[in-house]
Amino acid sequence: MENGRGGMDGKVVLITGGTSGIGKATAIALAAMGANVTITGRNRERGEKAVKEVRRESGNEEVELILADLAVQAEVRRLAEEFRERHDRLDVLVNNAGLVISKRTETPDGMETQFATNHLAPFLLTNLLLDLLEKSAPSRIVTVSSEGHRWGKMDLGDLQSTKRYRGFPVYGMTKLANIMFTYELAERLRGTGVTANTLHPGGVSTNFGNNNNGVMTLLFRAFKPFMRTPEQGADTVIYLASSPDVEGMTGKYLADRKIKVAADAAYDEGLQKKLWEKSEELTGLKVTA
């Protein structure tokens, strides 16, 4: 992907959750390399402010916003359609948007909110844009996971966490789902020129966790002084999105630019396939792959 002034000239990039934190830092870096960047966000005012900041800090005017609440499947579908209306190619998809919620809530689709936002949204969006990615190959899919996946358990019989809900273990399960999705996706895409990798950004001081009450918020506040900046957290995302060093590398989990071994459950191929099938059912998506 090394070409032009910064290696990304003429490349089209879509970053979910790009209005703050890691997503915005990634957008600034890739736009500064010459990429045409689209970010997503839920709030128009915050989104437009972020676009101005990314343009100013990157020196690149080719930065756009698409509004979408990724917890809602109809909005994920509309996001994919709107992106297609604007672009006929996609070189890099960064599935970055994510959240952690201390109390169980449901989306308008009747899905548990963390699972819907952190796993089903990237699963659906990626599959809806796969043909564009394949047409633009060599292209890349980068999904932000977390070391928190080690605290998650994949219970296919209770993906909606109706039996028992604890905020962080459910978050961990969704981040485990990100890795399993990436591994299965990489296998399905072999030979297409599209790579799929995932990563742990480190503990990053962002707005993440601010929508919680009680103990969880206190924990996030207590650890903030020891956390990475969004720019540090975005480093491996940017590396996977742009570096010629990882051209052709696929199906890997990274932290600090190094390949890491994920939790044992992530490598269970039977579980990966079952999660994929359940995700197809829950999103109404039947993928011919």
User: What does 74-143 look like in DSSP terms, one character per residue?
Assistant: HHHHHHHHHHHHH-S--SEEEE------SS--B-TTS-BHHHIIIIIHHHHHHHHTHHHHHHT-SEEEEE
Neighbours of 142 (CB within 10 A): 27
Rounded Cα distance between 139 and 174, Å, is 25
CA 95 to chain CA centroid, nearest Å: 2
79: left (phi over 0), alpha (psi -120 to 50) or beta: alpha
Let me know: does 160 contact 215? Beta carbons within 8 Å.
no
Structure tokens, 241: 């999105």
**At what angle are helices 44-58 and 21-32 packed, to 10 degrees?**
40
Gyration radius of the chain over CA positions: 17
Let me know: does 43 contact 123? Beta carbons within 8 Å.
no
Rounded Cα distance between 286 and 277, Å, is 8
Could you give the residue numbers annotated as active site?
171
Q: Where is 65: in which H helix or E strand?
A: strand 63-67
